């Protein structure tokens, strides 16, 4: 069986890693390198990740792959501080005791919040919250005041307009955010990407770089035609390891109607990566919510882990490329946020900076969106959409993409044996 994979991000590579052991696989990648959001860029003489990636001990699928590829020694888990900085004051969010000190909420609200967080941590089926909005969920279980003070700024940071964001998304974030120990790969994801690339090539699969797919077409005898800029090739099935929005752009009207991909917004992501002359703070993941800042900021301070004094400042937008003027404003905002973390900080600490941005990085998990997505899987035979597979893992992470690749592999094997 001949299989085409569109996209050589971690999802495409994981699918190819599994499928190339049994089938004839070709991967088509638009860029002249693999890795997508997990790839590295250059900053000065350093090779660094363009978005900082970390794992939790629960990310068992990707940890298994890291071990299978002989990279277990490059993965290390470290204790880190994850803090919220509210009006200049640090709250270590990995300690439940910090909740008792949160300003602006009554003792009853603190108790309700603590009970709510404990309940979330023991609930495994977050999909059941999908029919309510994140704000309703918090207001009903805690209070409007708790929502406004502590959850609204986080949702605004990520989605701007949060009214349609599902409670299932928030459930997944709260569950993920509970760890005070995180796993990182030395040198970032680059080692994992090149080990995967080597293994895939060794198994005889082709990785076609600088090959943008322009269209996909179903033939009358249930084969698939892939169209690049200068060629057409036939396959038995296609695995689309790109966003569902980009999949739709490749389909003709008939195929789009058959797929019935539910509509949702997608987030675009950007990141400033700043190399500082001195360490900024002991904290690793820092959420800054300060009255004087226009927007709250998240700062990921990797100096706590690598000693390189690199600070990642991610920014999310709903489907809109960031303009040059916005870029300047974001930088001004960040300088203000860094000063909130360390009052001694000033702009002369900035040694180098680089900015990058990407489109369609993750879907906005809107109310009821996931139910429709689950129904969309398997509607069209021979076309696999890992991004439409929603089981317990709702956030789009490296581990989720590894789980989805395994599920696609199982489905294709079952179809092949039937
Ligand atoms: C700021 C940020 C921080 C993150 N932090 C973490 C973290 O700490 N831990 C974690 O687990 N995850 C993290 N993630 C999420 C993780 O990066 C993604 O879930 C994962 O990289 C998605 O992989 P993918 O292969 O599905 O998509 P992508 O990486 O987007 O890959 C898609 C690939 O398809 C290619 N492509 C697109 N269209 C076409 C076409 N028409 N033809 C050919 N090729 C095409 C693209 O060039 C790209 O290479 C983070 C993401 C962001 C944005």
Confidence (pLDDT) at 292: 61
Contact in structure between 348 and 273 (CB atoms under 8 Å):
no
Q: Is the CB of 236 under 6 A from ligand 1?
A: no
Greater confidence (294 vs 371) lies with 371
d(CA 418, CA 43): 51
Residue bearing the CA closest to ligand 1, atom 53 = 269
Per-residue HEC secondary structure of the chain comes to CEEEEECCEHHHHHHHHHHCCCCEEEEECCCCCCEHHHCEEEECCEEEECCCCCECCCCHHHHHHHHHCCCHHHEEEEECCEEEEECCEEEECCCCHHHHHCCCCCHHHHHHHHHHHHHHHHCCCHHHHCCCEHHHHHHHHCCHHHHHHHHHHHHHHHHCCCCCEEHHHHHHHHHHCCCCEEEEECCCCHHHHHHHHHHHHHCCCEEECCCCCCEEEECCCCCEEEECCCCEEEECEEEECCCHHHHHHHCCHHHHHHHCCCCCCEEEEEEEEEEECCCCCCCCEEEEECCCCCCCEEEEECHHHHCCCEEEEEEEEECCCCCHHHHHHHHHHHHHHHHHHCCCCCHHHEEEEEEEEEEEEEECCECCHHHHHHHHCCCCCCEECHHHCCCCCCCCCHHHHHHHHHHHHHHHHHHHHC
Q: What is the mean pLDDT of residues 237-263?
A: 93
Ligand 1 centre and the CA of 38: distance in Å?
A: 6
d(CA 22, CA 406): 13
Query: Domain extents for the chain?
Result: 2-36+189-262+366-417, 95-176
Residue bearing the CA closest to ligand 1, atom 19 = 397
Confidence (pLDDT) at 89: 80
What values do phi and psi take at 284, rounded to 5?
-100, -60
Greater confidence (4 vs 187) lies with 4
Q: Is the CB of 51 under 6 A from ligand 1?
A: yes
Encode pLDDT of 288-313 as tens digits: 886 565 567 889 998 777 778 999 99
Ligand 1 centre and the CA of 179: distance in Å?
A: 23
CATH label, 2-36+189-262+366-417, candidates 3.50.50.60, 3.40.50.1370, 1.10.540.10, 3.30.56.10 = 3.50.50.60
Q: Is the pLDDT of residue 377 over 80?
A: no
Q: What is the mean pLDDT of residues 15-36?
A: 98
Greater confidence (179 vs 258) lies with 258
Confidence (pLDDT) at 390: 80
Encode pLDDT of 9-24 as tens digits: 999 999 999 999 999 9
Contact in structure between 396 and 169 (CB atoms under 8 Å):
no
Encode pLDDT of 90-139 as tens digits: 888 767 677 778 888 999 999 999 899 989 989 988 888 989 999 999 99
Confidence (pLDDT) at 361: 96
Ligand 1 nearest atom to the CA of residue 212, by list position: 42
Ligand 1 centre and the CA of 15: distance in Å?
A: 14
Confidence (pLDDT) at 223: 96
Q: What is the mean pLDDT of residues 346-371?
A: 91
Of 322-331, 343-352, 368-377, where does mean pLDDT reach its minimum?
368-377
Ligand 1 centre and the CA of 148: distance in Å?
A: 31
Q: Is the pLDDT of residue 262 over 70?
A: yes
**For the chain, what is the largest distance between any 2 Cα atoms, rounded to a whole number of angstroms?**
69
Predicted model pTM: 0.95
Q: Name residue, tokens 């909420």.
A: 105
Q: Is the CB of 246 under 6 A from ligand 1?
A: yes
Percent of the chain with pLDDT over 90: 64
C-alpha distance across the termini of the chain, in Å: 14
Confidence (pLDDT) at 176: 79
Choice from 9, 13, 358, 403 to test ligand 1 binding pocket (greatest atom count within 8 A of CB): 9
Q: Is the pLDDT of residue 384 over 90?
A: yes
Ligand 1 nearest atom to the CA of residue 249, by list position: 41
Q: Is the CB of 197 under 6 A from ligand 1?
A: no
Ligand 1 nearest atom to the CA of residue 267, by list position: 53
Confidence (pLDDT) at 418: 56
Give me the chain's average pLDDT, please: 90
The first and second tokens of residue 303, run together, are 């100096």
Ligand 1 nearest atom to the CA of residue 54, by list position: 8
Encode pLDDT of 37-93 as tens digits: 999 999 988 889 999 999 999 899 999 999 999 999 999 998 888 888 887 788 887
Confidence (pLDDT) at 254: 93
Q: Give residue 375's pLDDT band: very low, low, confident or very high (50, 70, 90).
A: low
Q: Is the CB of 269 under 6 A from ligand 1?
A: yes
Confidence (pLDDT) at 297: 86
Encode pLDDT of 158-199 as tens digits: 999 999 999 999 999 988 776 778 899 998 999 999 999 999
The first and second tokens of residue 253, run together, are 């009207």
Choice from 242, 300, 385, 408 to test ligand 1 binding pocket (greatest atom count within 8 A of CB): 242
Ligand 1 centre and the CA of 64: distance in Å?
A: 20
Ligand 1 nearest atom to the CA of residue 10, by list position: 25
Q: Is the CB of 38 under 6 A from ligand 1?
A: yes
């Amino acid at each position: 069986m001949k299989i085409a994979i569109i996209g050589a991000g971690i999802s495409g590579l994981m699918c190819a890693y599994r499928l190339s052991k049994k089938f004839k696989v070709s991967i088509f990648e638009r860029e002249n390198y693999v890795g997508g959001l997990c790839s590295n860029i250059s900053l000065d003489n350093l090779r660094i990740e363009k978005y900082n990636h970390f794992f939790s001990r629960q990310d068992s699928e990707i940890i298994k792959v890291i071990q299978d590829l002989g990279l277990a020694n490059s993965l290390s888990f470290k204790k880190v501080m994850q803090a919220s900085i509210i009006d200049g004051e640090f709250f270590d969010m990995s300690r439940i005791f910090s909740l008792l000190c949160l300003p602006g909420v009554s003792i009853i609200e603190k108790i309700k919040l603590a009970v709510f967080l404990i309940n979330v941590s023991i609930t495994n089926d977050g999909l059941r919250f999908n029919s309510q909005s994140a704000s309703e969920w918090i207001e009903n279980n805690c209070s409007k005041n708790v929502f406004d003070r502590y959850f609204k700024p986080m949702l605004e940071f990520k989605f701007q307009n949060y009214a349609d964001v599902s409670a299932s998304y928030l459930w997944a974030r709260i569950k993920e955010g509970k760890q005070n120990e995180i796993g990182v790969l030395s040198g970032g994801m680059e080692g994992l990407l090149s080990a995967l690339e080597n293994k895939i090539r060794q198994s005889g699969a082709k990785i076609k770089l600088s090959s943008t797919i322009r269209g996909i077409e179903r033939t009358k005898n249930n084969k698939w035609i892939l169209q690049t800029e200068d060629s057409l090739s036939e396959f038995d099935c296609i695995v689309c390891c790109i966003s569902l929005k980009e999949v739709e752009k490749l389909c003709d009207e008939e195929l789009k109607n058959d797929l019935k991909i539910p509509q949702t917004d997608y987030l675009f992501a950007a990141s400033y990566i700043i190399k500082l002359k001195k360490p900024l703070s002991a904290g690793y993941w820092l959420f800054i919510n300060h009255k004087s800042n226009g927007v709250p900021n998240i700062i990921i301070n990797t100096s706590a882990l690598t000693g390189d004094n690199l600070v990642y400042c991610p920014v999310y937008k709903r489907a809109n490329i960031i303009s040059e003027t916005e870029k300047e404003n974001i930088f001004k905002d960040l300088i203000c946020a860094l000063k909130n973390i360390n009052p001694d900080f000033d702009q002369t600490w900035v040694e180098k900076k680089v900015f990058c941005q990407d489109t369609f990085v993750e879907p906005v998990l809107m109310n009821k969106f996931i139910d429709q997505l689950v129904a969309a899987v398997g509607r069209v035979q021979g076309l696999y959409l890992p991004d439409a597979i929603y089981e317990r893992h709702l956030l789009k992470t490296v581990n989720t993409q590894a789980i989805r690749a395994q599920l696609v592999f199982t489905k294709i094997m079952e179809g092949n044996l039937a």
